[in-house]
Chains A and B, each alone.
Chain A
């Protein structure tokens, strides 16, 4: 357990749901927010708020300073090689769409291939379907082995001289699989392809160093890492970003505008059109400080402990099937109880105050691979405790009794 009782930092953990203390096991969908984050947001709006990069007045300068400081905080957190490669977006989805639009449509050519995996979130699949269709590229999928890990020997064959881009999730939001991203980066770069990594489930849960991983693009969301909604990050290698066309156009991203043409602002502003999510960026930086104060190594250990307990206990439950690898597992556990639709499981657990996710988790192709309609999923974060795993197991027993 953590040395410090972090649960006290999260006001929402004191509420009761259906008369029971809240057991929140849905952080992979979105995490709860600590006081520090909530307060930083308020404090900023109460005393330093104005639009950024515009007003020549005290508040405008203060807000701009805070917003740019937030960018530096985030860049340091992921050990980004260059500050100008760190773009604030609305989240992972927007980050990936930005790359699909501005890189994909321009640089992926007819007959080239885009290599993905069957475990991608729809956010890292559908944008590439559109690119492939528009430019006439081929989508390839690195097959999964039985345990839900990538078949790397197949990846070596699939990533070839035709490959323009590899786009993979760092950690699966369903199976919990932690993909060998470093190896995939090397495979991509060896054939001259670029690689995007979807870090939505990794950055919140483990130390991530972009200098070490060396990807061309890396995307993640603030709301899954104790930060506000509506803010996320795209890291892009500046020399690639420089050649890409803008994504959205309008204010902020512009340098000179004439009636019939315009030139673009420098990086990263070229990709931050319009008024950004200012207070949210400041909230995200506070979330980063909070996570750093605990330590990402510690958080990864705690996640691992809870996830292992859940995997072990769930696999001992009757009629319960647990998906994904048994080791190298991120902070999510997907499972099904025979004869009970995951929605009913979630509905019945909710009666006990336990929040889990049930459904396809925005991974319909992966559901087909698992040959299920949907799964139940419990996910963990630093405010969870072993008692939460026990509550889940007790809740399952109740659910089985009710529906049997």
Chain B
């Protein structure tokens, strides 16, 4: 088994990026894994079609928290449609365990071992499904 508790993952867990609230966020969306008790809130600030800032709050296992931290780093500055395709790319990656073609997944590569741990897939994808929900809510506005 490749070790999921890699240094990169632990670094994001110990020193989460963009953890906290935003000043004047556009939207906040909550996500939960009731089965494991992971909880997160994503805060987004939009500048037109672009995510100008993203932060998260929450508690949960190292995988869910590190993944949220990585998400905030990765998605900041992207347009909504870029975010959407990035979510698809991440999903595919977590399912297959192999890095997809195209743009590098950077630190997220450290989550590749999760593909072999079906129980933990939900932890790794929590922030991303929450982001997807945020996109849905933005579209409705």
Contact = CB atoms under 8 A, between A and B. Distances in A.
Interface stretch (A34-42, A295-303, A323-331, A343-351): A343-351
Nearest to A345: B61
Interface residues of B, number: 19
A373 interface: yes
Given A359-B35, A373-B36, A373-B37, A341 B61 contact: yes
A369 to B, nearest CB: 14
Nearest to B65: A341
A249 interface: no
B25 to A, nearest CB: 26
Nearest to A364: B34
B13 interface: yes
Contacts of A343: 36, 61, 63, 120, 123
B3 interface: yes
Interface in A331-363: 341, 343-344, 347-348, 351, 359-360
A347 B5 contact: yes
A374 B62 contact: no
Interface residues of A, number: 16
Interface string B1-33: 101110000100110000000000000000000
Contact of A344 (B1, B34, B35, B62): B62
A373 B4 CA distance: 22
A157 B3 CA distance: 54
Interface string B105-141: 0000000000000001001000000000000000000
Contacts of B97: none
Contact of A347 (B4, B14, B38, B59): B4
B77 interface: no
B36 A403 contact: no
B36 A374 contact: yes
Interface of A: 18, 341, 343-344, 347-348, 351, 359-360, 364, 367, 372-374, 402-403
Interface of B: 1, 3-5, 10, 13-14, 34-38, 59-63, 120, 123
Query: Which 4 pairs show the lowest CB-CB distances between chains A and B?
Result: A373-B37, A341-B61, A343-B61, A344-B62
